[in-house]
């Protein structure tokens, strides 16, 4: 009986001294070796992991630039009075469409009178010089004239014609149709377009250096001036079609075309000025409005992966490659353009490989 009791006690002692871990199921911990990780079947992390086979797809790197709408210089004119004087008549009103050469306003100016007088005097001088020149020609022809006097008359006639040409050009600068001395100057439109600013007041006295009183713009086409970063300018070419968004019309799709790429880099911003020409038939695009310009590059085949697949450690970006059943290997990658859903892979992956697209956050201990 005593031996039986001792045997029971010894068995109980031996049982109590066993390692409790030896009686638990197989470990659920991630098995990590360097850049490799194996996830046991009974680890709950396995249910959170999703994978995807890498494929190539057509992709275009988008270049986005902020821009400002502006009138095309040849389609925009600010008109000020060329002389000091008093406005005596206005021929226009705000919003009116005018043609090139149409009268805008009339001004009386003593300075303009001087230009008229110079023209009239030059015209009279030419007539007298020509008369004298013809007379000397006739005298020499009949043998009673002197060649020297003929030469002098010819030279004087040529000089007077030059002076008349200069005086005539002065009048043409102001689109003047002539008129007698003392007639008012009629200032005319240099371009066709719409009167978008009219500050003319009848009876107003203007100085020669006064601000413009009329602005004409032809806005059926406008430019959008944008700045493209130096690193992205290789994607932009003259003639490229671009899409434009205006904050004032968020639901409107606007297209334009690259008209000009500046030859100079702004050293302060490391960007290059690009002009985009847009049709504006309804005049909704107003100079001064802000715009967002999206340049589209030529599509090319590339590897795109979900942003959820890309992991970051310090300055290194990497993904988890599936290398076996429940086995993954960390691999560094180089990335390109990124949007809200996907990222372009420049190097480090190839089509046909399988990557972990979700669950990588649980692999952070695999270092």
Statement to judge: residues 310 and 330 lie in one domain: yes
Statement to judge: residues 84 and 207 lie in one domain: yes
Statement to judge: residues 203 and 291 lie in one domain: no
Residue with tokens 């019309």: 249
Statement to judge: residues 222 and 159 lie in one domain: no
| Residue where a domain terminates, one of 296, 321, 352 | 296
Domain count across the chain: 3
Q: Decide: helix, strand or coil at residue 256.
A: strand
Mean pLDDT of 5-31: 50
pLDDT on residue 167: 83
CATH of residue 242: 2.40.30.170
CA separation for the pair 329, 320 (Å, rounded): 5
Domain contains 178 = yes
Is this prediction's pTM over 0.75? Answer: no
pLDDT band (50, 70, 90) for residue 29 = confident
Could you read off the pLDDT of 75-91 as tens digits, one per residue?
999 999 888 999 999 99
Domain contains 10 = no
Statement to judge: residues 181 and 209 lie in one domain: yes
List the strands of the sheet with 97-98, edge to edge: 76-79, 214-217, 193-198, 97-98
Determine the structural domain holding residue 129 and report its residue range.
Answer: 75-215
What are the counts of helices (DSSP H) followed by strands (DSSP E) for the chain?
3, 25
Residue among 70, 337, 69, 67 nearest 227 (CA)? 67
CATH of residue 207: 2.40.50.100
Statement to judge: residues 96 and 52 lie in one domain: no
Statement to judge: residues 43 and 68 lie in one domain: no
pLDDT on residue 234: 83
CB 362 within 8 A of CB 348: no
Statement to judge: residues 105 and 187 lie in one domain: yes
Statement to judge: residues 208 and 88 lie in one domain: yes
- Pick from 178-182, 244-248, 327-331 the range whose average pLDDT is largest: 327-331
| Residue where a domain terminates, one of 242, 269, 296 | 296
Q: Which two tokens stand for residue 227?
A: 């700045």
Cα 130 to Cα 122, 152, 157, 318, distances in angstroms? 12, 12, 6, 92
User: For residue 296, what are the contacts with CB-CB under 8 A and spacing of at least 6?
Assistant: 60, 62, 240, 241, 242, 243
Could you read off the pLDDT of 236-288 as tens digits, one per residue?
889 988 989 998 888 888 899 999 999 999 999 999 999 999 999 988 999 99
CATH of residue 352: 2.40.420.20
Statement to judge: residues 83 and 48 lie in one domain: no
Domain contains 281 = yes
Domain contains 242 = yes
Statement to judge: residues 151 and 182 lie in one domain: yes
């Amino acid at each position: 009986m005593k031996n039986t009791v001792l045997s029971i006690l010894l068995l109980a002692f031996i049982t109590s001294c066993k390692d409790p871990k030896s009686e638990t199921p197989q470990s659920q911990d991630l098995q990590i070796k360097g850049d490799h990780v194996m996830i046991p079947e009974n680890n709950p992390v396995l249910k959170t992991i999703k994978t995807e086979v890498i494929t190539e797809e057509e992709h275009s790197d988008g270049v986005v630039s902020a821009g400002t709408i502006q009138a095309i210089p040849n389609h925009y004119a600010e008109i000020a009075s060329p002389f000091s004087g008093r406005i005596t008549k206005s021929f226009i009103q705000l919003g009116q469409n005018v043609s090139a050469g149409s009268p805008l306003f009339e001004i009386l100016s003593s300075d303009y009178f001087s230009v008229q007088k110079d023209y009239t005097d030059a015209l009279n001088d030419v007539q007298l010089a020509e008369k004298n020149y013809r007379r000397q020609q006739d005298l020499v022809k009949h043998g009673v004239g002197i060649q020297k006097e003929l030469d002098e008359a010819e030279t004087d006639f040529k000089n007077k014609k030059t002076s008349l040409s200069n005086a005539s050009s002065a009048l043409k600068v102001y689109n003047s149709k002539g008129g007698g001395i003392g007639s008012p100057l009629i200032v005319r439109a240099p371009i066709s377009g719409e009167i978008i600013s009219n500050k003319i007041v009848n009876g107003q006295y203007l100085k020669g250096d006064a601000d413009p009183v009329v602005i004409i713009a032809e806005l059926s086409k406008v430019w959008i001036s944008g700045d493209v970063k130096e690193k992205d300018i290789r994607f932009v070419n003259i003639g490229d079609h671009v899409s434009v968004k205006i904050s004032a019309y968020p639901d409107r799709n606007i297209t334009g075309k690259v008209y000009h790429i500046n030859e100079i880099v702004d050293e302060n911003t490391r960007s290059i000025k690009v002009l985009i020409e847009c049709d504006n038939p309804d005049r909704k695009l107003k100079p001064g409005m802000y715009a967002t310009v999206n340049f589209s590059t030529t599509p090319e085949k590339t590897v795109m992966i979900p942003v959820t697949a890309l992991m970051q450690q310090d300055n290194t970006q990497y993904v988890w490659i599936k290398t076996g059943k429940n086995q993954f290997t960390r691999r560094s990658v180089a990335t390109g353009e990124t949007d809200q859903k996907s990222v372009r892979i420049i190097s480090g992956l190839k089509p046909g490989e399988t990557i972990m697209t979700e669950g990588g956050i649980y692999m952070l201990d695999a270092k």
